[in-house]
Structure 1
Amino acid sequence: MSAQHEIAKLDRALATRGQPVVFRRDDFDTGRQDIPVRAFLKGFDPTELVGGVDLNTSHATLSPSDFASSGLVPQKGDSIIAGGRTQYVDNAEIRRIGDQAVRFELTVTG
């Protein structure tokens, strides 16, 4: 499957089952950047609560489509705001097909 196909599939799923969140980056040089995106947010199962993962830790899946105009790529220290709750990115993984990002998988806490 092509990268464009995988991104389009993720975008359709996020449009129907994702939730609106704000992706935030605070940068000393460029200031605060808030980007409205859609995300899948899921808490961890109790059997996964090991190695620093606790009940305040969630998994977030975001689409690179939401970041195309900003050129940002999620990284540790960024934050996700959903339902008035701010969670901070502890880990950001970029899933790729070839050299094209097809999804961002984040571990967020807070």
Structure 2
Amino acid sequence: MATPLCAAAAAAACRLYVSPPASLAAPGRGRSRRCLVAVRAEAGVGGINPAIRKEEAKVVDTVLAGELSKPLTAYCRCWRSGTFPLCDGSHVKHNKETGDNVGPLLVKK
């Protein structure tokens, strides 16, 4: 489980500590070493959500997996999709511009 070390959503970079697999654990100690993973978010006045439903205090969507029309549905996690909450591939441009590595959330029926 990841433990976030930064609280600012608009920070240029966050650091997460992730425990590696048991095969990489410190020998003879029974504890695992921690790995540093950098997660980038586009910094700016508007935070990570540039324009989607800004009039709402919190953007929340609920979909029942059984009601999906396709066996695999991609949901946006970059906040750039023109079909939000569904992914339209906008993360590809976002990743090239920012050096980020975000992709969609895939939900199987």
Q: TM-score, normalising length from structure 2?
A: 0.25
Structure (1 or 2) with the larger CA radius of gyration: 2
Structure with more helix by fraction: 1
> Higher RCO, 1 or 2 (CA under 8 Å, sep at least 6)?
1
Q: TM-score, normalising length from structure 1?
A: 0.25
